[in-house]
Copies of this chain bind each other. A is one copy, B any other.
């Protein structure tokens, strides 16, 4: 059900083009997943998310578990039906979200107890519970419940978190039964090449339909992240999709693909949109700035998205200034379109073996 086929391989990099089959349709990789934390890609209808070129979106288990509750989503017929999205969905496991709660959570071998950021109520998520929630949500791809470690952790802490992640992965695999849902394991190991290798080998050995790389883009310099990718990817089966979690700025997407990553997700596209910023062929522009007051050109003159075809910088700046919600809608649409379009350009470059030139172009704008 989750067959992954590699269609083409880059000659001079580790990049490849593939297709992942899921119950809600095929995903062409490399691909970017927009994030729909609370059952909606913020400020966009699902129709717009499709028009922006998205093939798959991400849902957050932690948020949906707390609100509206996995029981309600299940009763609605699953997350696809609940939120009116008939294409593939990947759900994270809640691991990173509860880790991010800091003092509000406590990790034991059994799982993580934590206080809700909404109302302080106490909860426990274990590997089994995360599987159950994700099975209730009914995503196409479920993620293993993992243990993160802070970017500045010592080796012992990182190793302990990694080994616990491995034990939890076995529990996730043992508990997970839903056949129309793929379970992906997650590699941890901090910024330690040896641990990354050990983790990748262990995760890969469980022979799941896909493998993810977690614990990167947590504050380390980009070259360190790229180095860790190079120390991890070689130990992940070539014939399985590789998903780099929580990454996506334009430069990281190109650099990730070059290192053999197939799937990405990131909130930055919609977050900077709500803050008045657009990705463009000229780099990031902060449309809220006064310089765009009388700029009657599109957000990106080289973009052919609906927003760029119909609205100007001056208009969108006015909307931001006037606190009109439409600003977030138009900018979110554009930024997701831009990113999906970049993935399409990456594929073309991969086919034509010009990925390094594209990397140089995007790095000059974004790195």
Contact = CB atoms under 8 A, between A and B. Distances in A.
Given A38-B318, A82-B312, A82-B315, 14 more contacts: A39-B315, A39-B318, A45-B329, A63-B322, A68-B293, A68-B314, A68-B317, A68-B321, A72-B318, A76-B296, A77-B296, A82-B314, A83-B315, A325-B329
A38 B324 contact: yes
Interface in A80-131: 82-84
A326 B84 contact: no
B40 A314 contact: no
Contacts of A317: 68
Contact of A75 (B40, B296, B326): B296
A61 to B, nearest CB: 15
A319 interface: yes
17 contacts: A38-B318, A38-B319, A39-B318, A39-B319, A39-B322, A39-B324, A40-B319, A40-B324, A40-B326, A46-B310, A68-B293, A68-B321, A68-B322, A72-B314, A72-B318, A75-B294, A76-B312
Please tell me how many copies of the chain the complex holds. 2
A356 B44 CA distance: 41
A328 interface: yes
A330 interface: yes
Interface string A243-281: 000000000000000000000000000000000000000
Interface residues of A, number: 39
A319 B39 CA distance: 8
A275 to B, nearest CB: 14
Contacts of A63: 322
Contacts of A328: 325
Interface in A287-332: 293-294, 296, 306, 310-312, 314-315, 317-319, 321-322, 324-326, 328-330
Nearest to A317: B68
